[in-house]
Amino acid sequence: MSFPARRSALRALLPGAGVDALLVTDLVNVRYLTGFTGSNAALLVHAGGDDASRFCTDGRYRTQAAAEVPDLEPVIDRASALALAKQARALGAERLGFESDSVTVDAHDALAAAAGDVPMIRAPGLVQELRAVKDADEVEALRRACAVGDAALADLLAAGGLRPGRTEREVALDLEDRMRAHGATGPAFETILAAGAHSAVPHHRPTGAELQRGDLVKLDFGALVDGYHSDMTRTVVLGPAADWQRELHALVAEAQAAGRAALAPGAEVTAVDAAARGVVERAGRGEEFVHGLGHGVGLQIHEAPYVGKTGTGALAAGMVVTVEPGVYVEGRGGVRIEDTLVVRDAGPELLTHTTRELLEV
């Protein structure tokens, strides 16, 4: 991945933030800009280029840092952020930006003391702004992660892993193991496996409840591959579906198709949400669609942009988002259908390929 190019893109944002250097302390952002995967690091990105920038971690990661971040001068110090703040003046920083959306008040005070006479300026969201639009390497990593999810679910279904008598927890662990077998580091998040009335709970956590014939079973899961997260939801029925289950699934499928069709560069995120939500509302079930339509995915399972009624901004080509409408009938059951897609000029690119037809297993 082109980490120098990402740092160069960040430098272009510094003047608008009123700073000539940015102290990056969010580890996800550090990874995005350097490739470093350890648990302690900070990065000072200077407007003057990589020669004036510094990467810092502690002695545990000296060898790892040399391999993962060979293109920046290293600083070895346990107090990584403080060490770089102390060097700001010597590196020519006159106004030091910091990630005020992730730095605590106490940490800010310590950093300000370390920076001395270099003023510290709030500069939130700069790296997240860059991360919202994925480059080709990121899309490929997400494509692989989504393929692992597809393959794991196919294996689970082929093996008869969704059947009455198994518990929600057993099926969730089975699915996660199958993702690992296909190359995932692990699940992208705690798998949601919800059967029967539990399927009406949007973020139900798997329990020891047994699956029963006639249940709606909602599977919301993802794979972690090379640091990138996939996200997909499918809802199936154990045995022949009842009429109300078919109708509910068909409604959510129609809403999901409308949301996917609305994905386009320049589309307001609220308009994309409205395209799907309107289908549900016209069916008289608007109150049962209780969450936003989707979110960005990448190095985090939930990242910008947020696609919902309270979201802000517009989509851009290269953003990777989920489209996941759901309708939940309390005490009876619910349906959610979710895909991960790349926003493209010629129409969205689907990364999750498991059928969206109602499966009766």
In this predicted model, what pLDDT tens digit does every residue of 119-168 receive, in sequence order? 999 999 999 999 999 999 999 999 999 999 999 999 999 999 999 999 99
Spatial separation of the C-alpha atoms in residues 156 and 193, rounded to whole Å: 13
SS3 195: strand
Q: Half-sphere exposure of 345 toward its Cβ, with a 13 Å CA cutoff?
A: 0
pLDDT number for residue 137: 96
- Which domains are delineated in the chain? 3-130 (3.40.350.10), 136-350 (3.90.230.10)
Tokens of 346: 């010629």
**Please, are residues 142 and 134 in contact by the beta-carbon 8 Å criterion?**
yes
Determine what percent of the chain is predicted with pLDDT higher than 70: 100
Q: Which of 12, 14, 13, 43 is nearest to 26 (CA)?
A: 43
**Please, are residues 187 and 224 in contact by the beta-carbon 8 Å criterion?**
yes
pLDDT number for residue 170: 98
In this predicted model, what pLDDT tens digit does every residue of 39-74 receive, in sequence order? 999 999 999 999 999 999 999 999 999 999 999 999
Strand partners, 84: none
Cis preceding linkage at 305, omega within 30: yes
Residue 149, CA distances (Å) to 153, 205, 217, 253, 293 in order: 6, 19, 17, 20, 20
The answer to whether the Cα torsion of 137, 131, 320, 178 is positive or negative is: positive
Q: What is the pLDDT averaged over residues 77-87?
A: 98
Q: Half-sphere exposure of 337 toward its Cβ, with a 13 Å CA cutoff?
A: 22
The CA-based dihedral angle spanning residues 86, 89, 92, 95, taken in that order and rounded to the nearest 10 degrees: 100
What mean pLDDT, rounded, does the chain reach?
98
In this predicted model, what pLDDT tens digit does every residue of 304-314 receive, in sequence order? 999 999 999 99
pTM of the complete model: 0.96
The answer to whether the Cα torsion of 313, 318, 319, 325 is positive or negative is: positive
Determine what percent of the chain is predicted with pLDDT higher than 90: 100
pLDDT number for residue 12: 97
Residue 196, CA distances (Å) to 23, 97, 157, 333 in order: 49, 50, 18, 6
pLDDT number for residue 1: 66
Residue 169 has pLDDT above 90, yes or no: yes
**Please, are residues 162 and 217 in contact by the beta-carbon 8 Å criterion?**
yes
pLDDT number for residue 283: 98
In this predicted model, what pLDDT tens digit does every residue of 186-235 receive, in sequence order? 999 999 999 999 999 999 999 999 999 999 999 999 999 999 999 999 99
Spatial separation of the C-alpha atoms in residues 185 and 136, rounded to whole Å: 21
Based on its alpha-carbon atoms, the radius of gyration of the chain, rounded to whole angstroms, reads 23
